[in-house]
Structure 1
Amino acid sequence: MIVAFSVTPLGTGDEIGQAVSAAVRVVRASGLPNRTDAMFTTIEGEWDEVMAVVKQATDAILAVAPRCSLVLKADIRPGVTDAMTAKVATVERYLAEDRKN
């Protein structure tokens, strides 16, 4: 499965970068394929391992904030691996074809 999620500390003021970086550290330490951009962190793996990482990232936020907002989107496709890379490669292939025409 692929999960794109965002954890945001609430009740700590405008500066949230340090708390968010603690959550991203958890994801990166998991060893699962992941990417972080300005809005979401995406992680790929089996259901239980991905959800455990999401919980640990949420707990990292709650360690420094009284409240946490969690937004999660999942693509659940059993038996598929490396979908995070393959999906992007497919779109890039189509875009390259458009440039040729």
Structure 2
Amino acid sequence: MIIAFSVTPLGVGEGVAEPVARAVRVVRDSGLPNRTDAMFTTVEGEWDEVMDVVKRAVEAVAEVAPRVSLVLKADIRQGVTDAMTSKVEALEHHLADTGDGATAVSE
């Protein structure tokens, strides 16, 4: 399964980088495949291990924020592994296709 989630500390002012870094550290330390961008952190693994990581990430932020908001989106497909990479590769393949059967070459 893949989960994309965002943890937002509330009640800490405008600067949220340090509390959010606490959540991202939990994800990175988990050893599960993950990726962080400006809006979400994506993590891949089995249900129990991924949900445990999300819970611990929220708890890490809650240690320094009086309130925490969590947004979560999940893609649940049994038996699928490495979907974080393969989904992007499939998209890039289609983007490289010029529509006439040829593939665009980047320089």
The answer, yes or no, to whether TM exceeds 0.5 is yes
Corresponding residue for residue 63 of structure 2? 63
Name the % identity.
68
Q: Distance in 1 between matches of 2:77 and 2:71?
A: 20
List per-residue Cα deviations over 1:41-60 (Å, max 9, x = no partner): 00000000000000000001
Structure 2 residue identity aligned to 1:76 = I
Corresponding residue for residue 28 of structure 2? 28
Corresponding residue for residue 73 of structure 1? 73
Structure 2 residue identity aligned to 1:92 = E
Secondary structure, counterpart of 2:18 in structure 1? helix
List per-residue Cα deviations over 1:53-90 (Å, max 9, x = no partner): 00000001100000000000000000000000000000
Structure 1 residue identity aligned to 2:49 = E
Question: Between Structure 1 and Structure 2, whose CA radius of gyration is higher?
Answer: 2
| CA-CA distance at 1:34 after TM superposition | 0.1
- Structure 1 residue runs without a partner (length 5+): none
TM-score normalized by structure 1?
0.97
| CA-CA distance at 1:98 after TM superposition | 2.6
Q: Distance in 1 between matches of 2:98 and 2:55?
A: 41
Aligned residues: 101
Structure with higher helix content: 1
- Structure 2 residue runs without a partner (length 5+): none
TM-score normalized by structure 2?
0.92
- The alignment status of 1:41 with 2:41, answered yes or no, reads yes
Q: Distance in 1 between matches of 2:98 and 2:84?
A: 22
